[in-house]
């Protein structure tokens, strides 16, 4: 069993994915020493809609931690000197990501054991943006993966991955919620598995990877139609 003294949680401001993971870790009393939040000054229209959607919106970060004695630090940039200084103060064994930008080597190297990231798709095949939608459009399994990060995009060693059944979901929002919850569940399993040394990360075969870009509106409409068609088939 590894001796874990310090776990840091990092996320961008009011990141929905991050709040879902943080909520799960707090529920199971994972001993988080500090939360570092990067201020986000601009949101895409898609992000604004999600933040304003009560169905899609878990508790806000400050509400989540109000009953816990966990300091929260706001920084301008996760790769900046301010964040580096905070991390070095806590000397973390693990850093858990709840939605951040790509991190620089100087930040990655601070974690003694590693930095855990959850990705809403099955790695190594689906990397990059909107991978839930691309998986559905390509008639391939939807899922979630937790991996250690390196300097690449979703390219570090895989800790755990699982498929998510979506036949009971009637739209893309419900699929995303289900995948987010699976990401949170797998993050908890990953922390426990690495701590108790019951899980060994495996190196990704990056030759099998495709890095996807953000979907356009027409592609999203096609995904929505496929989800609705599959849902209707199930209830007929």
Helix (H) or strand (E) run with residue 119 in it: strand 114-119
Structural domain boundaries of the chain? 7-235
Is 160:193 a contact under the CB 8 Å cutoff? Answer: yes
Asked whether residue 198 carries a pLDDT value surpassing 90, the answer given is: yes
Compute the radius of gyration of the chain from its Cα atoms. 18
Tell me what pLDDT residue 56 has: 47
Q: What is the mean predicted confidence (pLDDT) over 21-49?
A: 81
Confidence of residue 216 (pLDDT cuts 50, 70, 90): very high
Residue-wise pLDDT for 53-94, tens only, equals 544 455 677 777 888 889 999 999 999 999 999 999 999 999
Identify the weakest region by mean pLDDT among 6-15, 28-37, 210-219. Answer: 6-15
Helix (H) or strand (E) run with residue 160 in it: strand 158-163
Contacts of residue 24, Cβ cutoff 8 Å, sequence gap at least 6: 184, 185, 187, 188
Is 156:127 a contact under the CB 8 Å cutoff? Answer: no
What's the predicted TM-score (pTM) here? 0.90
Residue-wise pLDDT for 93-149, tens only, equals 999 999 888 899 999 999 999 999 999 999 999 999 999 999 999 999 999 999 999
Residues of the chain with pLDDT > 90: what percent? 74
Which CATH class, in words, describes the domain spanning 7-235? alpha beta
Asked whether residue 43 carries a pLDDT value surpassing 60, the answer given is: no
């Amino acid at each position: 069993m590894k001796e874990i003294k310090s776990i840091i949680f990092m996320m961008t401001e009011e990141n929905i994915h991050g709040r879902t993971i943080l909520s799960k870790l707090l529920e199971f009393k994972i001993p988080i020493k500090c939360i570092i939040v990067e201020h986000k000054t601009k949101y895409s229209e898609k992000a604004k809609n999600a933040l304003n959607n009560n169905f899609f919106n878990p508790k806000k970060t400050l509400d989540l931690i109000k009953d816990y004695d966990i300091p929260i630090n706001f920084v301008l940039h996760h790769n900046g000197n301010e964040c580096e200084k905070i991390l070095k103060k806590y000397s973390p064994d693990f850093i858990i990501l709840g939605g951040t930008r790509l991190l620089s080597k100087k930040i990655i190297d601070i974690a003694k054991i590693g930095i855990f990231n959850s990705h809403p798709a099955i790695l190594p095949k689906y990397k990059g943006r909107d991978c839930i939608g691309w998986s559905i459009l390509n008639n391939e399994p939807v899922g979630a993966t937790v991996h250690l990060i390196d300097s690449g995009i979703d390219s570090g060693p895989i800790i755990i991955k699982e498929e998510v059944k979506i036949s009971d979901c009637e739209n893309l929002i419900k699929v995303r919620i289900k995948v987010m919850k699976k990401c949170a569940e797998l993050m908890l399993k990953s922390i426990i598995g690495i701590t108790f040394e019951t899980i060994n990360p495996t190196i990704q075969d990056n030759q099998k990877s495709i890095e996807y870009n953000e979907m356009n509106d027409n592609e999203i409409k096609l995904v929505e139609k496929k989800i609705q068609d599959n849902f209707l088939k199930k209830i007929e």
